Structure 1
Amino acid sequence: MTKRRLAALVGVLVLVTWLGTSSTVSAFLARVVNTTNRIKSAVLDCTQVPLADGATRHYPLNEGAGGVIAYDASPTGADGTYQGGRNSNAAVPYPCVRPQDWYARLDETHWVSTPGTIAIAPGSSTSQEAWFRTVNSQGVINGFGSTQTGASTNKTNLLIITSLGRVAFLVKGASNYEIATSYALNDGAWHHVVGVHDAASGIILYVDGVQRASVNGHPSALTAYFRIGYENTNGFTNGFGSDQAAAHFWDYMAFVSFYPFALTATQVTQHFNAGN
């Protein structure tokens, strides 16, 4: 064997050895099999980002027409129920991904209840988010209530569209804490909203990746159900009083998540950017 051939053979053996031991290349070549993926859409940006950040509830609301199950893509697996059945559309544009896909249309008879209660407390941080699109001035995007269905007597941490078309975060604590945008978002475009309770700093409202309002306040302790598209808002200034019809969100929603901690401003911006 010539020296040139020997050198070439040694080079090949070194390359093979490096490929087998390099963590970078090995990670690239690794085959990952997901046997529990329950998401219908093949484009998962706005699912992957919340799950990577630790969402313990995540409802893409993209199941398609028919049926009643709102699948929870998080490890919790707390599948929700479309009250009144699933009312979905397939259209462009779609939040977070530009190809056509399904998304839920909610209204007075179509909203989502979820199983299993979540503990809200003044000393425990939480975050909740959603993408929504509406031309209406009404309804709860998501929040917490003492009953799984119906109008809850005790409720808190409600993200809503007010009668002025603004986004507000309503929190029941030592007093009612209510923060809102100064402008309307019922413009028919998709928007991203996040409500945060930070046990260290208070209540924060983000819209489209930017902090819009905050207040130094904390929710009272409440073990409650996570609700999507409806909850009783009676008792809040920015709510709808005893008008339960107006308390139903009316239009389109997708990618609803809950986190048992406070998302940072950087994380919120990253979640918004995933849709752009």
Structure 2
Amino acid sequence: MIDGAIALALLGALAFSAVTPLTASAYVAKITNSVNTGATASYFSCSAAEAADKANAYFQYYLNEASGALTAVDSSNSVNTGTYRGSMTTSTATPIACPRDSGGAYSLNGTTSYVSTSRIYTNPTSFSIEAWFKTTVAAGKLVGWGNARTGASSSFDRHLYIETTGKLDFGTYSGATQVVTSPAAVNDGKWHHAVGTLSASTGMRLYLDGSLVASNASYTAAENDTGYWRVGYDSLSGWPNSGSGYFSGQLRYAAAYSIVLSQTQVQNHFAAGR
């Protein structure tokens, strides 16, 4: 016979094992993050994001041709073919902007490299300009407007350029220079996405890496002139903290539009290139 105390102990053990599975350990965690958010990007690649806006583009250059190429293909509807000046050298070094797009980035030497466009336009009053870029140099024009197709223009504005301080400027001219400037320097050797927009109703806006970083609603006009869009070089004489007009670094994409890109469009373009 089994002693009563022993029987009670055995029954307790059996009851415990029946409701409690045998495990080596148990773990419960709760993770809370109130800063970062996740979402599905609207476009998977830069080419897809830009294609959605190509109907309003003056030009869209992916600048991903092979080294030695002479022509920058225009992906917009404007047939505004670009010409590589100086030597075209491409780089596929990673990390790279627009990593899900084909080809490499255009490496500009800071002395002779730039792209000229083929079509002439008169006085764009509402516009946006855009570029993906990487540099360690505090100088140079990314995208701009000038009255000369090649060489140094005698009138020039509507440009994104890097100051001698390393900060990014977006500038227009209307009787005087009008400039809005990024709070932080951008010559840190990292890829950045820049967009400048202007219209009479919105004024000037400068976006950096998807965020609006500077604006002035009272700057509503640019110089009334006829000219060409330029990429990677044009004169910056007389502009604040201007330095050399030649950009030294890498460009992955450059474009100009006849409309003001919305903040959502800018953010879509930025997200597609990350």
- Fold conserved between structures, TM > 0.5: yes
Q: Which of 83, 86, 89 is the aligned partner of 1:84? A: 86
Query: In the TM superposition, what are the counterparts of 1:1-276 in structure 2 within 5 Å?
Result: 45-54=45-54, 55-97=57-99, 101-107=103-109, 108-121=111-124, 124-215=125-216, 216-217=218-219, 218-240=221-243, 246-276=244-274
Inter-partner Cα distance in structure 1 for 2:104 and 2:239: 33
Inter-partner Cα distance in structure 2 for 1:221 and 1:110: 27
Q: For each residue in 1:60-113, what CA deviation from the matched residue of structure 2 results, as whole angstroms up to 9, or x when unmatched?
A: 000011121111111112111110131111221221225783110112111111
Amino acid at match of 1:267: Q
State the aligned residue count: 227
The answer for unaligned runs of 5 or more in structure 2 is 1-42
The answer for unaligned runs of 5 or more in structure 1 is 1-42, 241-245
Q: For each residue in 1:155-183, what CA deviation from the matched residue of structure 2 results, as whole angstroms up to 9, or x when unmatched?
A: 11110011111110121113210111121
Inter-partner Cα distance in structure 1 for 2:102 and 2:173: 39
**What's the TM-score once normalised by structure 2's chain length?**
0.79
Inter-partner Cα distance in structure 1 for 2:90 and 2:156: 27
Inter-partner Cα distance in structure 2 for 1:98 and 1:48: 10
Q: For each residue in 1:232-266, what CA deviation from the matched residue of structure 2 results, as whole angstroms up to 9, or x when unmatched?
A: 011212323xxxxx210001001111110100111
Inter-partner Cα distance in structure 2 for 1:100 and 1:144: 28
Determine if contact 1:172/1:220 at 8 Å carries over to the other structure. Answer: yes
Amino acid at match of 2:99: V
Determine if contact 1:138/1:162 at 8 Å carries over to the other structure. Answer: yes
2:166 match: secondary structure: coil
4+ residue stretches of structure 1 with deviation over 4 A? Answer: none
Deviation at 1:230, TM superposition (A): 0.4
Computed over aligned residues only, the root mean square deviation of the Cα atoms, in angstroms, reads: 1.7
Q: Which protein has the larger Cα radius of gyration, Structure 1 or Structure 2?
A: 2
Determine if contact 1:93/1:100 at 8 Å carries over to the other structure. Answer: no
Inter-partner Cα distance in structure 1 for 2:120 and 2:106: 23
Deviation at 1:275, TM superposition (A): 1.4
Inter-partner Cα distance in structure 2 for 1:98 and 1:58: 17
